[in-house]
Chains A and B, each alone.
Chain A
Amino acid sequence: MSLIEIKDLHVNVNGEPILRGINLVIKGGEVHAIMGPNGSGKSTLSYVLAGRDGYEITKGSIAFMGQDIAALPPEARAHLGMFLAFQYPIEVAGITNMTLLKTSYDALRKARGEEAMNSAQFLRLVREKAAALQMNDDMLKRQLNVGFSGGEKKRNEILQMVVLEPRFAILDETDSGLDIDALQIVAEGVNAMRSPERAMLVITHYQRLLDFIRPDYVHVLVAGQLVESGDAALALKLEAEGYAAYQNV
């Protein structure tokens, strides 16, 4: 069964059409990559999937596990198992990484009708996942993204993902800002999450990431439309030739 099904999706931001007829079907177990020039609408697509206010669907539909989610608020989509790793991670002063993780984790459990997890048990779980991403305890105690380097923030998004274990994750340029070693560590974390029930949409500018996270499909987004789709080889071609061929379509 398809996990997510986007049909002829048109989206306006501030009255301007930004997405202009997106069609995309992602099945369980698949990893899709989206590449495209700056301003083509990649982040817009991620926001509209996650349900952010101000992204007006003028036409088309989004279904998640067979359910039309266009009218659901962001938290309801999160409860269904959607996750967005932000292109520009958000800072929350005064709230530690750990508190954010626990609060989110418990919110998702509550939505499933489960009790909050015992703090000590949760701490063990997080430490284990953080260690796999080579993040130490100090990082967990720091205020959410406050004073984090660009790369640390990105790694932190992935920590949230591996702790929350979503059904469907969108990674918006998670690779930008990561050094080569970090990229590999993060990719391993992402790969460890791949499973037949789970799917991912990876937005990137660089083919290199796709050497580590092998996509099943690569799509090219230009001016709010998916202009070409293919397999991993398409990314190599884009890397060599750029987007010139797609301009004026």
Chain B
Amino acid sequence: MSEINEAKSSISRETVAHVNRFGGEHYQYGFSSDIEADRIPPGLNEEVVRLISAKKDEPQWLLDWRLDAYERWQTMAEPDWAYVDYPPIDYQSLCYYAAPRSMENAPKTMDEVDPELLRVYKKLGIPLAEQEVLAGVRKVAVDVVFDSVSVGTTFREELATHGIIFCSFSEAVREHPALVRKYLGSVVPKSDNYFAAMNSAVFSDGSFVYIPKGVRCPMELSTYFRINEANTGQFERTLVIADKGSYVSYLEGCTAPMRDENQLHAAVVELVALEEAEIKYSTVQNWYPGDENGKGGIYNFVTKRGDCREARAHISWTQVETGSAITWKYPSCILRGDNSTGEFYSIAISNNRQQVDSGTKMLHLGRNTKSKIISKGVSAGHSSNVYRGQVNMHPKAKGARNFTQCDSLLIGDKCAAHTVPYIESKNKSAIIEHEASSSKISEDQLFFCRQRGLDPEEAVSLIVNGFCREVLQELPMEFAVEAQALLSLSLEGSVG
């Protein structure tokens, strides 16, 4: 372990240096690319739902499912309980589907993908050629979603030899309809909430993963989301199924160009872990946060939920949230199987005018279920950062336990941090522990670091990295490096 820690700690310096080479540009992924797109006219109505389904050549059952979701959505209201503030969104002015034109005749292998698209990913630093990945420490299979469609998935053949299915959602609908039909909406019902219902009606693509019984997935799986088109929402859907006794670690990354208007991202992620299966789901969310004055940026309204459906299943969410103008996101676990465990490790950073309302829900239904929540919120600038968490112990959840630790760090005196924990216990044998702290970066620490030669931004970045350590440690190595660099980048300009 010590070697890994040493490596990790030395990496922090090297990454910071690497990141600094971008010349202090605040958001390095802010370029947009000129890729010819097939867009449908703006607006959300039955016509549009049918059109999206038709474009994907979907079976009738899925169209019916979408239409049902659309109907329910119309009767629902946007949630207003989160501590976020934004002007009303005109859902009829948004475009719900955009695809690169070159994808009309979907390429079958990476070699057939439009070179212009591949160049975009190269610029983003996402390896799409399998041999490039091989040069790295470990293999990572990538599914890439550009605006509304998946443009390609790597390492599929190698994964297939283990019986693992890793493909775009659309392809899963075509090739593995029984699995999709069985599990789609089984964790997040289509009318779960306003944004989930909207997603269920118009979701365009996303990733699908199935790990067969007893298989330990030999590499990290990842999806990389990119919004390119202006005025377009992204509504992807991810479904991960880990069959009995299997294991998978899944990573998700996101970026978008800098644009003056706000863009909507309303995704749904469903995880199903069967008996003794383990799913580790990590996110590094770096959507464009808007400028210093809060102009532009992504509205990230996402529903993520995992279901430990059978005994001894294990689901762990790790998230590093640095981007987006507004984040509304509560990756949760339903601990249904006896002795199942859920974990939530979160770093949420807000700077400038960003607003974050994020946290988790742990629903203890089974006996001896355990959950652990570690949340680290860092607020700077004029931002607002809310941890909202819910722990629920049902009468049958005998011997259930939860531990929650929720720390916030404030940089400057114009930002805000709130903690909103809801705890509900309907059985006496359940044990719930909650620890919370709130602190500021101290003058002493800053002076000390500067006396040791660090400039104020490096000093803040070091202290914040230390504050977030328990969560950073949970990330797969490949992501830990990127995440540490992101922490420093997203706090740029936060100290005078």
Contacts and interface: CB of A to CB of B under 8 A. Distances in A.
Contacts of A204: none
Interface stretch (A35-43, A96-104, A212-220, A224-232): A96-104
Interface stretch (B50-58, B458-466, B474-482): B458-466
Interface string A133-155: 00001000101100000000000
B447 A74 contact: yes
Contacts of A243: none
Interface string B457-496: 0100011011111100000000000000000000000000
B467 to A, nearest CB: 6
Interface in B1-53: 2, 5-7, 9-10, 12-14, 17
Contact of A143 (B2, B443, B448, B466): B466
Contact of B9 (A51, A98, A111): A98
Nearest to A145: B448
B453 interface: yes
B450 interface: yes
Interface stretch (A5-13, A19-27, A62-70, A86-94): A86-94
B488 to A, nearest CB: 12
A129 interface: no
A78 interface: yes
Interface string A77-119: 1110011101000101111101110111011101100001001
A95 to B, nearest CB: 4
B452 A160 contact: yes
B445 A74 contact: no
Interface residues of A, number: 41
Contact of B13 (A78, A83, A116, A144): A116
Contact of A73 (B7, B450, B467): B450
Contacts of A144: 466
B14 A116 contact: yes
B444 interface: yes
Nearest to A73: B450
Contacts of A119: 6-7, 10
Contacts of A73: 450
Given A94-B470, A95-B462, A104-B452, 12 more contacts: A51-B451, A53-B443, A73-B450, A74-B451, A90-B444, A90-B445, A96-B5, A99-B10, A100-B462, A104-B453, A116-B14, A143-B466
